[in-house]
Amino acid sequence: METKKNISRRSFLTSSALAGGGLMLSFSWLTEARAAGKTEALNLANQWTELTGYIRITPDNVIKIMVPNPEFGQNVMTSLPMMVAEELDADWKNVVVEMAPHDNLKFGSQFTGGSMSVRTYWKPLRNAGASARLMLCEAAAQAWGVPVSEITTKAGVLSHAGGKTATYGEMAAKAAAVPVPKNVKLKAPKDFTIVSRSKKNTEGIKVVTGKPLFGLDYRQEGMLIAMVQHPPAFGMKLKSFDASQALKMPGITGVFPIRLFDEGYERSAFDTRTFNELVVVVGRTTWEVMNARKKLKVQWEVTTDTKEKVKGWSGPAREEIVPGGLESTASQLTQMQERAKQAATVLRKDGDPEAAFKGAAHVIERTYNAPFLAHNTMEPMNFFAHVTPEKALLVGPLQAPSLITGTLAKVLNIPVEKVEIQMTRMGGGFGRRAYGHYLVEAALISKKVNAPVKLMYTREDDMTYGIYRPMYTATYRAAFDADKNLIGFHVKGGGIPEHPIAANRFPAGAVDNYLAEGWEIPSNITIGAFRAPRSNFNAAAEQSFLDELAEYMGKDPISFRLDLLKRAKANPVGKNNEYDADRYAGVLELVRDKSGWGSPAQAGKHRGVAAYFCHNSYAAHVVDMVVRNGEPYVEQVTSAIDCGIVVNPDAAQNMVQGAVVDGIGNALYGALTHKDGAAEQTNFHNYRMIRHNEAPKTIDVHFVQNEIDPTGLGEPPFPPVFGAVANALYKSTGKRHYNQPFRPEGVKI
């Protein structure tokens, strides 16, 4: 890895003629590789040393654009090529796209997550397109003996006022010999003809005709199917097993244990330790392996505390103690209540909050709870692996190939150059596929059986062997003076095993006396990123709390928030406030206007509003709820989003609508609970997912029109849905709901 890094730090740009006269351009700009804007926990910008765009033009003027990031539904197979094609002045009709190979040197970090794909590649990919365009112009100028400044381009055609024209394809070979230009000028947004114009999903036809796009669809000659048997509960491990019955089943070729990490292994930031030892069943077909696995006789035992070394992103490894034993949701809730009473880490303090609360005329205090959530991607975890002495080939769905390559090399004890990962389309990710333990499992299995293997999880495996959204709680307190002015704000949040608090977010900066604290309880249940990590809880709790404060103050909930933002803008309290008060207010104003908030026409509706800032973008929703057959039903939603320039508006609208549906579903129904370490929900019959009949009739999406570089969209619309649903629920039922899911079905939380 070191060698690669060193080379990659040298910014470079090359071009070379392809066999057949095509032009291949590879680009890299170190500086643009950095994501615009601030970084978050999942933001890997400081790890990224370069980005590379990749264009091929054939003599018949077909333009192939390589897509660096794997697709999981966020539309990168369309939106990223649009950015290249825009600056290239390509004819979109002639553009084909292809998932790039995993090659950090050429394509940068190739990380799908953190709402970063468009934001990160915004400049590098446009630079790639603009540079290629200039080289084509230069080639035409030389061929025609005219100044390059007189060449114009449009829809893949070069023209000169003298009457000469040529397609990009005709000039491609000549252009390959042109020195690569430096400091190319990019278009102003007003000149865009592809970006900001809706383009259809480039893989749409493959999706609707059932082409084998996904990891589970990938096959190779002689490939075996493998499944793993994991312990039935967190806090248990393998003791012994009897394979004799399973081995007698038809089609079974092997039953054996694997161990992911040896003792003393230093885990990197995305290495997970859910279950380190698994029993593997390998056979010819899926059904045979499923049946044979049922015949395994395995003895499990309860774990004791273990010490682990966690390396994280950098620096020396720290020691982490993973508690042994079996945890249950009920006891965890009690544990959290007890822990919440004790001292916590101060994350931010402005003014004198203690004095403000002591002298307050009135204090409002509320506690919010939320359960673990399973990602439940429709395509369960799976990966193909073929490990030979020459190399380890891995093919399948994952968000973060670069985060697992080093781990694979270490575990397989081979040089990192011998690890090849190919990315397929993913049947959903939502953060789950950033954790590549299933590649390690697949690779170890392939190595053991010395054959190509497809590891697949059943739905039950996927749900009960998860990397869940953590379990959270937070107590919010607000202090008022005798005139009902908000004079103090205090949030103390905790979680299993990490707290959710984002101390520098709104309303930090808007209240004179402010205190944010966090505490954590370690657990052996594994957690990870889940669409808008932490924010997906904060927005629910805080936005519901603000609603209650507005009510107490006799203020309209939108006006109340706008007043706070005005204060944060004019005279901000404290330092490091993460949000831009104007953009935050902008989405609230837009959603207010578009929803007809407060207008007589909307009177009588049970409406809830919420707004949130995360992943560099701003989102606000107004949710209209009715009670239908005794069940809360969100009938209509109005959404306002500021994510800067919207690259593919129709697809962006789809994404926001999806985030709203996802948010409603998780807020009302989502929960993964445990009893004695075992997940109580195992499949879709007892993990309730939002369905067609529960989706709103309309979701009107409005984007703030501006020329700010794109700031990300996959996550930001999701968190405030929870808060808006909570507030609408209060309006429609008269009762505040503090515990998620708001509509539990036989699930106590």
Is the CB of 259 or the CB of 691 nearer to another protein?
691
Distance, CA of 383 to CA of 395 (rounded, Å): 6
Helix (H) or strand (E) holding 558: helix 557-570
Residue 468: name the closest of 523, 416, 506, 505 by CA. 523
Q: Is 503 in the site for another protein (CB under 8 A)?
A: no
Q: Is 591 in the site for another protein (CB under 8 A)?
A: no
Residue 742: name the closest of 540, 548, 471 by CA. 540
Binding mask 172-201 for another protein (x = CB under 8 A): ----------------------------xx
Residue 111: name the closest of 401, 431, 435 by CA. 401
Q: Is 458 in the site for another protein (CB under 8 A)?
A: yes
Q: Which residue in the set 699, 713, 726, 728 belongs to the binding site for another protein (CB under 8 A)?
A: 699
Q: Is 79 in the site for another protein (CB under 8 A)?
A: no
> Is the sign of the CA dihedral 690, 691, 693, 696 positive or negative?
positive
Q: Is 216 in the site for another protein (CB under 8 A)?
A: yes
Half-sphere exposure of 359 (CA within 13 A, CB side): 12
Residue 437: name the closest of 461, 414, 471 by CA. 461
Q: Is 46 in the site for another protein (CB under 8 A)?
A: no
Q: Is 529 in the site for another protein (CB under 8 A)?
A: no
Q: Which residue in the set 117, 329, 376, 473 belongs to the binding site for another protein (CB under 8 A)?
A: 376
For residue 320, give the 3-state DSSP assignment: strand
Buried b (16+ CB within 10 A) or exposed e, 214-234: bbbbbeeeebbbbbbbbbebb
Please list the alpha-helical segments (H only) found in 145-196: 168-175
Q: Is 717 in the site for another protein (CB under 8 A)?
A: no
Q: Is 203 in the site for another protein (CB under 8 A)?
A: yes
Q: Is 341 in the site for another protein (CB under 8 A)?
A: no
Q: Is 95 in the site for another protein (CB under 8 A)?
A: no
Is the CB of 167 or the CB of 377 nearer to another protein?
377
> In the structure encoding, which two tokens stand for residue 206, read together?
């493959």
Residue found by looking up tokens 């805080």 in the block: 542
Q: For the CB of residue 281, give the shortest distance to another protein in the complex, in Å.
A: 15
Q: For the CB of residue 231, give the shortest distance to another protein in the complex, in Å.
A: 21
Q: For the CB of residue 465, give the shortest distance to another protein in the complex, in Å.
A: 15
Identity of the residue numbered 620: A
Q: In what order do the strands lie in the sheet with 318-322?
A: 266-268, 306-312, 318-322
Q: For the CB of residue 375, give the shortest distance to another protein in the complex, in Å.
A: 8
Q: In what order do the strands lie in the sheet with 151-154?
A: 151-154, 157-160, 165-167
- Sole window of 354-362, 424-432, 624-632, 703-711 interacting with another protein (rule: CB under 8 A): 424-432
Distance, CA of 127 to CA of 129 (rounded, Å): 5
Q: Is 93 in the site for another protein (CB under 8 A)?
A: no
Phi and psi angles of residue 423, each rounded to the nearest 5 degrees, phi first: -100, 130
Q: Which residue in the set 207, 321, 355, 361 belongs to the binding site for another protein (CB under 8 A)?
A: 207
Q: For the CB of residue 695, give the shortest distance to another protein in the complex, in Å.
A: 4
Q: Using alpha carbons only, what angle is made at residue 201 by residues 714 and 459, rounded to the nearest 5 degrees?
A: 60
Q: Which residue in the set 331, 450, 683, 705 belongs to the binding site for another protein (CB under 8 A)?
A: 683
> How does strand 631-642 pair with strand 698-703?
parallel
> In the structure encoding, which two tokens stand for residue 207, read together?
């999706």
Q: Is 603 in the site for another protein (CB under 8 A)?
A: no
Cis peptide before 632 (omega within 30 of 0): no
Q: Is 655 in the site for another protein (CB under 8 A)?
A: yes
- Sole window of 145-153, 302-310, 346-354, 427-435 interacting with another protein (rule: CB under 8 A): 427-435
Q: Is 393 in the site for another protein (CB under 8 A)?
A: no
Of residues 247 through 306, those in contact with another protein by CB under 8 A are 250, 285-288
Q: For the CB of residue 287, give the shortest distance to another protein in the complex, in Å.
A: 4
Q: Is 380 in the site for another protein (CB under 8 A)?
A: yes
Q: Which residues bind another protein (CB under 8 A)?
A: 71-75, 200-201, 203-205, 207-214, 216-217, 219, 225, 250, 285-288, 376-380, 425-430, 456, 458-460, 650-651, 654-655, 657-662, 665, 683-685, 689-693, 695-699
